[in-house]
Amino acid sequence: MPRKKKTDSSNQSKVLRAPAEIQYADQLEAMGQNDKDPRPPSWKLSPRAVLTYILGGETVKAKIKRKSCEVAITKKFFGDAALVERAIVTLASERALLLVGDPGTAKSWLSEHLTAAISGDSTLTIQGTAGTTEEQTKYSWNIARIIAEGPKPENMIPSPTMIAMQSGAILRFEEITRCVPDVQDSLVSILSDKAIAIPELPEANRINAMPGFNVIATANTRDQGVNELSAALKRRFNYIHIPIVGDHKTEVKIVQQRTEELMQQYAIPVAIEPPVLDLLCRVFREMRDGKTAEGVSVKQTSTVLSTAEAISVAFESALQAHYFGDSHVTSGHIAKNILGSVVKEDLTDLGIFKEYVRIVVKQRAAEGMWKDFHKGATNVLG
């Protein structure tokens, strides 16, 4: 059976988006060097070290590329520490983990960082779609070689599930509720027997999971009901609900940190002043909550105005300022780029945004930032 090739980290550092274990390799290495706590079988870090890696806030001494240095562990997930701790405990247990929440609440982001820290590989991933097949979750065959040589272990194409089982790693299953029931059912036996049967092979017709194997699945609440999980599968998962960031200041911090990371990745030498991001997150929060800071009721859009959408608006504004402006991001740029996030397929959202600009933004337009925002928004809205 072909084994997964090791990731070439020198090449990966040049790609558009390297997996977390490559992007944050120094932090993971530093955590590993300082980790004295017990680890579950096959885990690269102890549960305590995984928690610190996810929540950040510490600086640890380490030897990176034979040089002694201090490595700052950055905050990956902004949210309840107890929630992350429960997620880690679940992954060490015999039950799988299901992260459920609204779109853009960092379910995939958290799952990527958990697998990077636990298994050192976040790429063993199945992207669930309506077209995902049972073969993609278990195994398939190299048809040309099967015709020539018959079913042999070498002619098998293992799925990420099988590779994770053989190496005692964590499998990521994205958007599990988008998969048809047959595919979901195939997971029931994997999660309870911790094995995949291969009836086509006369010998070695069963792949057993090594200790450490587990699954993190994600599901979008907006997709729930597309293919609801069966009762049998529900029982094999511990559900953790990821809420939308509750407080304004934290959301501004997330948008600031992630936008800075994206600008670094895309080599965009632009700085966005915190008050501009504060305004962006305020607009999002007010339209999401249906209430302004002054207590005025506004209509809520049908589109989910998630933190992830706010990050995209901030990053697109930075690109616009860099390529079409003087690299100074203003609230006017934010106004011009916000429309694609607020108004998606539902055109009534356009009316809701217009009303927000007319009632709320206009009232505040005497102040500098809101003035620019109002001008930018009226320009795009026509």
Out of 23, 27, 46, 108, the only residue in the binding site for ligand ATP (CB under 6 A) is 108
Q: Should residue 254 be labelled a site residue for ligand ATP when binding is judged by CB under 6 A?
A: yes
Q: Which amino acid is at 70?
A: E
Half-sphere exposure of 122 (CA within 13 A, CB side): 21
Site map 209..248 versus ligand ATP, x via CB under 6 A: ---------x-x------------------------x---
Rounded Cα distance, 379 and 368, in Å: 17
* Selection from 56, 113, 62, 118 nearest residue 89 by Cα: 118
E-strand stretches of 213-342? 214-220, 237-242
- Identify which range of 47-55, 89-97, 105-113, 293-301 contacts ligand ATP by CB under 6 A: 105-113
List binders of ligand ATP among 129-188 (CB under 6 A): none
Q: Which is nearer to ligand ATP, 74 or 378 (CB)?
A: 74
In contact, 45 and 74? CB cutoff 8 Å: no
**Cα 365 to chain centroid, rounded:** 36
Structure tokens at 98: 């299901």
- Pairing mode, strands 58-64 and 67-73: antiparallel
Q: Which of 48-56, 74-82, 187-195, 330-338 is the region at the interface with ligand ATP (rule: CB under 6 A)? A: 74-82
Which range in 44-52, 77-85, 152-160, 272-280 contacts ligand ATP by CB under 6 A?
Answer: 77-85
> Binding mask 309-348 vs ligand ATP (x if CB under 6 A, - otherwise)?
--x-------------------------------------
Taken in order 244, 245, 246, 248, is the CA torsion positive or negative? negative
Positions 84 through 123 that interact with Mg ion (CB under 5 A):
108
Q: Phi and psi dihedrals of 227, rounded to 5?
A: -140, 90
Q: Cβ 220 to Mg ion, closest distance in Å?
A: 7
Residues that bind ligand ATP (CB under 6 A): 77-79, 101, 103-109, 218, 220, 245, 254, 258, 307-308, 311
Residues that bind Mg ion (CB under 5 A): 108
